[in-house]
């Protein structure tokens, strides 16, 4: 058990590359969006604190460091526990509540979970 902890502490942070829509990229790049939501079945299913994510559009890229990862299995849980202003700063809570079902498949979220990946921008 101690060996596993030492080995884990020596590991380098993993690098992930994720494409985002320009609308969301702008909020990540300017630091107002600090939580990314993803279904836990994709490339980020094993993301953890300390990892680096490079968010990209066709023309731009910025890197962030993961601070925390939380999993939600219902939209009610997500809205109760997360600051939606950090998820989508340009959208209202009412808009998010009305439209989140079209952004994420409810059955997938209930089965795999919805990751709330909290991050901070890396100054490069």
72: nearest Cα among 31, 95, 104: 104
Residue 124 has pLDDT above 90, yes or no: no
51/36 Cα distance (integer angstroms): 14
pLDDT of residue 1: 53
Domains and CATH numbers, the chain: 2-121 (2.30.130.30)
pLDDT for 34: 98
Total-model pTM: 0.87
Which H or E run contains 73? none
Q: In this predicted model, what pLDDT tens digit does every residue of 23-77 receive, in sequence order?
A: 999 999 999 999 999 999 988 899 999 999 999 999 999 999 999 999 999 999 9
């Amino acid at each position: 058990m101690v060996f596993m902890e030492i080995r884990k502490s020596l590991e380098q942070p993993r690098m992930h590359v994720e494409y985002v829509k320009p609308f969301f990229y702008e909020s990540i790049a300017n630091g107002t969006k600090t939580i990314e939501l993803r279904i836990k079945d994709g490339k980020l299913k094993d993301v953890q604190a300390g990892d680096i994510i490079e968010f990209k559009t066709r023309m731009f890229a910025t890197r962030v460091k993961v601070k925390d990862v939380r999993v939600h299995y219902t939209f009610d849980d997500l809205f109760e526990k997360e600051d939606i202003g950090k998820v989508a700063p340009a959208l209202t809570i009412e808009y998010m509540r009305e439209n989140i079902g079209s952004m994420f498949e409810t059955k997938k979220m209930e089965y795999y979970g919805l990751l709330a990946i909290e991050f901070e921008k890396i100054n490069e």
